[in-house]
Structure 1
Amino acid sequence: MLEPFQAENIEDAFKRIDKTTFVDELVDSISRLKVYSAVLKRSIARESCMTSMYMKESLHSSRMETTRTSLQNSLEKAALDDDSDKDVNEVRNYFAATRYGREYLMRTGVFSEEMLLEMHRILLSGNVHRTTESIGCYRTEQNFIQNVNSKEITFVPPEAKQVKPLMDNLISFMNNPASGERNLVNAAVIHEQFETIHPFADGNGRVGRMLIPLFLFKVREIEMPWLFLSEAIEKEKFRYYKMLNDVRTNGAWNEWIKFFLGIVDRQCVKYEGNIQKIEELYGSCLKKITDISSSRLLKQVFTCFFKSPIKNSRSIERETGLSNTTVNRMLDKLTANNIVFADEKKRGNLYYFYDLIELL
């Protein structure tokens, strides 16, 4: 069996990085992130559709850990408050843990052990798949990373006794990152270091991916932690795992950072386009609604579908404070005009805003 990896403090990584090897990728990703942030900042639809985008990010990151569900299934279960599906609950928990991390940073302005342990507890709480009962705490035993197919052990993280000092060093760095280094480079190094430490008995990949946008938010590289990378990472997950492992075995920091910057660039392009399309959809639907009725109640009910494109009347009642009779009357108008579509249940209908689902 492989020996536990002897991890260094995160500052040592920068001694092995040659910025000239990824200068083009760095310039492109910084530029693209600025454009995406500007588009998002001025979008009238950004607040309303971020919940749905977070849910999609949660889905792709959870799929990396063999969770098997779909965005539509997750949104349906959320609308029904159904917690019977472990896969769906994992997606929900990822969303809740990310939200907690954002709110913690907004409240305190710093990363802490308390924050990371609570994010881990939220991620693995309730009716979910997990390989351990040790949640909300660092691991106390040796763990390892195994090839899913061959069962070969590909990496043995540092010994358990090294986890806390390494995590203390990492948290300190996240609060006071390397001066003179671009924040996207710092984010790439932070993510690799966290995955190398593997501080938890389960859930390391998901917590590590949450930390990327949270760090960039903390250092004000982005206005809110709305950088969604897990979709692209999932598409190239075997390359992603290989790149992470190559840093440990070959010191391939430059190749890892170049890969990371490429992911940022591509996802910023994708979501910049998505936000613009969503804003166009928002505007055209509001115009259609105005033509249907001058009632502000119709707009109020419709706007709920931008927060989550699958709803039932009860969830809209909770969100708006409107009566059941009013909500159902507004839903009848939306369905009659083919804006949202109801399922075929006689009671407890779910309503689908398919135009938005397509853009997510």
Structure 2
Amino acid sequence: MLEPFDAKNIEVAFEHVDKTSFVDELVDSVSRLKVYSAVLKRSIARDSCMTSMYMKESLHSSRMEGTRTSLQNSLEKTTLEDDSDKDVNEVRNYSRATRYGRDYLMRTGAFTEEMLLEMHKILLSGNVHRTTDTIGCYRSEQNYIQNENSKEITFVPPEAKKVKLLMDNLISFMNNPTSNERSLVNAAVIHEQFETIHPFADGNGRVGRMLIPLFLFKEHEIEMPWLFLSEAIEKEKFRYYKMLNDVRTNGAWNEWIKFFLGIVNRQCIKYEGNIQKIEELYTSSLSKISNISTSRLLKQVFTCFFKNPIQNSHAIEKSTGLSNTSVNRMLDKLTANNIVFADERKRGNLYYFYDLIELL
């Protein structure tokens, strides 16, 4: 049996960081993040598509922990306000916890233990899969990480009695980074340190991935915490786990940071392209709608599909305040012109804006 890892305060990590090992990746990722932030700031996606993008980020991060659902299924259940599916609830909770963290930082400007514990509580609340009933507090027992295939224990985090002091140190650093490194480098080290401490009985990977965009948001590197890395991490999850563990066993900080910066760069490029395509879709769709009708109600109803590309009349009524009759009349126009498509339910149809679903 491996012994619990003897984790040090986060400042010690920077004694092993050599930026000459990843200077090219740092320059590329910093400049790409600035471009992505500028593109998003002036985009229709900034206000309209964030709910769906949060959902997609939540989906990929939750899949790494065993959740099995699809983006379409998650969006459908959200529209129907259906909480019977544990996998979908996990995805939904991830989005809720991230938004809570964002709102907390906007209100207070600082990370606190209270904030992290509440995020954890939100993540694991309700009808979800979880391995513990200890939620909203640090672990009081030893935990471990094992290979999901061989079940071999690959890492034993620090003893439970050390978690509080290590987390206090980490939170202090997140509020006042003292490393003199760029924020993206700090974010990489913070993520590794959080996953090494493994402060919770369950949900550590998801909370740790939430903290990446929240830290960059707090440091004013991005206007809002809309840096979606979990898709790329999920694609390389075994490399991701190996890189994290190599830091603990071999002190491979520079290799981990280089890997992290590469993910940031690739995802910024991808989402820049997605945002441009969403802009083009929005413009072309509004042009179609103006040729169908000059009614402002049609545009009002259609715009709801950019917030969630799967809708029903009830959800649109709640969002717009329009009457059921008006909403259904506008939905009939949209379906008749093949802009959105209805399912075959006898009552309570769901309507799908497939052109946007493909871009998310």
TM-score by length of 2: 0.99
- SS of the residue corresponding to residue 311 of structure 2 reads strand
SS in 2 for 1:243: helix
AA aligned opposite 1:299: K
The CA distance in 1 between the partners of 2:104 and 2:180, in whole Å, is: 27
- The match for 2:203 is 203
Residue type matched to 2:256 in 1?
W
Superposed, which structure 2 residues align to 1:1-360 within 5 Å? 1-360=1-360
- The letter for the 1-side match of 2:221 is E
Q: Residue 47 of structure 1: CA displacement?
A: 0.6
Contact 1:45–1:282 (Cα < 8 Å) also in 2? no
Residue 359 of structure 1: SS of its match in structure 2?
Answer: coil
CA distance in 2, matches of 1:78, 1:339: 21
Secondary structure at 1:149 match in 2: coil
Q: Deviations over 1:17-73 (max 9, x none)?
A: 111000000000001101111110111332101110000000000000010000000
Distance 2:211 2:165 in 1: 19
Q: How far off its partner does 1:12 sit?
A: 0.5
How far apart, CA to CA, are the structure 2 residues paired with 1:302 and 1:70?
24
Contact 1:7–1:197 (8 Å) recurs in 2: yes
Which blocks of at least 5 consecutive residues in structure 2 are unaligned? Answer: none
Query: Could you say what secondary structure the match of 1:154 adopts?
Result: strand
**Is residue 79–residue 312 contact of structure 1 (8 Å, CA) maintained in 2?**
yes
C-alpha separation between the residues in 1 aligned to 2:168 and 2:290? 55
Contact 2:57 2:229 in 1 (8 A): yes
Q: What is the RMSD computed on CA atoms of the aligned residues?
A: 0.6
Aligned counterparts of 2:346 and 2:111: Cα–Cα separation in 1: 49
In the TM superposition, residue 345 of structure 1 has moved relative to its aligned partner by: 1.1
* Alignment check: 8 A CA contact 2:11 2:179 kept: no
Tell me the distance in 2 between the aligned counterparts of 1:248 and 1:328: 58
Does structure 1 conserve the Cα–Cα contact (< 8 Å) formed by 2:14 and 2:179? no
Counterpart amino acid of residue 33 in structure 2: L
Q: Is the 8 A contact 1:59 1:70 kept in 2?
A: yes
Distance 2:148 2:22 in 1: 31
Question: What's the CA shift string for 1:63-88, capped at 9, x where partnerless?
Answer: 00010000000000001011110000
How many angstroms does 1:179 deviate by?
Answer: 4.8
Q: Secondary structure at the residue paired with 1:220?
A: coil
Deviations 1:120-140 (A, max 9, x none): 000000000000000000000
Is contact 1:192-1:244 (8 Å) kept?
Answer: yes
The whole-number CA distance in structure 1 between the counterparts of 2:346 and 2:8 is: 62
Greater shift after overlay, 43-52 or 111-120?
43-52
SS of residue in 1 equivalent to 2:154: strand
Q: Which digits, 9 at most, give the CA deviation of each residue in 1:82-124, with x for residues without a partner?
A: 1110000000000000000000000000000000000000000
The two structures have a TM-score, normalised by structure 1, of 0.99
* Cα distance in 2 for residues equivalent to 1:16 and 1:318: 54
1:180 Cα deviation (Å)?
A: 2.1
Unaligned runs of 5+ in 1: none
Question: What residue identity is the alignment partner of 2:359?
Answer: L
Sequence identity (%):
87
Amino acid at match of 1:185: V
